[in-house]
Structure 1
Amino acid sequence: MGAQGSSKPAVMKRIYTGTDGMSHVEDIVLDAKSVMEKVTSVEVRVAPPGRFGDWHVGPQRQYIINLAGSGQLEVAEGKVDLPPGSMEYIDDLTGKGHTTRTTSKEERVSICLKFEDQKQRIGPLNPKTTTSPKP
């Protein structure tokens, strides 16, 4: 079970660099067996409406949790919507990277959690991983 009262599973978007050097996205279903990571810092980010970040890679491995406002990532497969409550695992540290955009009329507020162990590579957390392109 995902969010309180919801029958949908909790899902995190993993943004990673493929063998082709392009950033890709996959859904990772979170459950009681999901890997826990130690983090070194928590950063609150506020992005104004219309903010656009051109192609870039993640500065380091981190989680981003969207609290308010909506955003969008673009990767090799296309655009990925980031509604409030969504979570991303940023793992594309090389290659072309991804773009980011605030799509809501209000500010996008998110929390960034930076991993303590930057050498650890988290792959799919469980076998329920699926690719999730959006045209």
Structure 2
Amino acid sequence: MIRLIRLHTGPDGQSHVERSTMPLGALGPDTATGWLPVSAARFQSSPPGSALDWHDAPRRQYVVTLTGTIEFTTRGGETFRLLPGVVLLAEDTAGGGHRWRLVGDEPWTRVYLQLP
């Protein structure tokens, strides 16, 4: 199983957090998801001490953390941390939004996978 955190806009127009997992099925001796459609990918790195104030996700996308620890907060006070290997499904493209800050002394290196 892969840890998945979904950040989405609720009926109240605010960003909310949902924790779950991505199920994996047998693929020979390995396990895997099925193929997931993505329209574009981008790698990005932010230096230690970085933060981004209130914003919505620019589009539906997966964000996969490769290095660093990021703390997210919604306007409603929900918080969560992204660690390497945790997948964020960012779907809060409208409403109250969220902010993040880098925790620790490592850069935040991640890959964005845009969803069609």
**TM-score if structure 2 supplies the norm length?**
0.85
Structure 1 counterpart of 2:23, from 14, 28, 31: 31
Report how far residue 35 of structure 1 moved. Answer: 7.0
- The offset of 1:77, in angstroms, is 4.1
CA distance in 2, matches of 1:29, 1:82: 14
1:15 to 2:7 alignment: yes
1:71 and 2:73 aligned: no
Structure 1 residue 40, shift from structure 2 partner: 1.5
Stretches of 4+ moved more than 4 A in 1?
33-36
Residue identity opposite 1:87 in structure 2: V
Report the number of matched residues: 108
Q: Which runs of 5+ in 1 are unaligned?
A: 3-9, 118-135
Alignment correspondent of 2:87 = 87
Measure, in 2, the Cα distance between the counterparts of 1:50 and 1:79: 18
Q: Residue 44 in 1 paired to residue 43 in 2? A: yes
**Cα RMSD, aligned residues only:** 1.6
Shift of 1:21: 1.1
Structure 2 Cα separation of the partners of residues 49 and 93 of structure 1: 26
Contact 1:24 1:77 in 2 (8 A): no
- Structure-2 separation of matches of 1:35 and 1:104: 34
Whether the aligned pair in 1 keeps the contact of 2:63 and 2:90 (CA below 8 Å) is yes
* Aligned-pair CA distance for 1:83: 1.1
Q: Secondary structure at the match of 1:39?
A: coil
With over 3 angstroms needed to count, the CA separation of the structure-2 counterparts of 1:104 and 1:113, relative to structure 1, is same
Q: Shift of the alpha carbon at 1:37?
A: 3.0
CA separation of 1:49 and 1:65: change in aligned 2, threshold 3 A? same
Q: State how far apart, in whole Å, the 1-side matches of 2:102 and 2:71 are.
A: 6
**Farther off after superposition, 95-104 or 77-86:** 77-86
Q: How far apart in 2 are the matches of 1:97 and 1:103? A: 20
Tell me if structure 1 keeps the 8 A contact 2:17–2:78: no
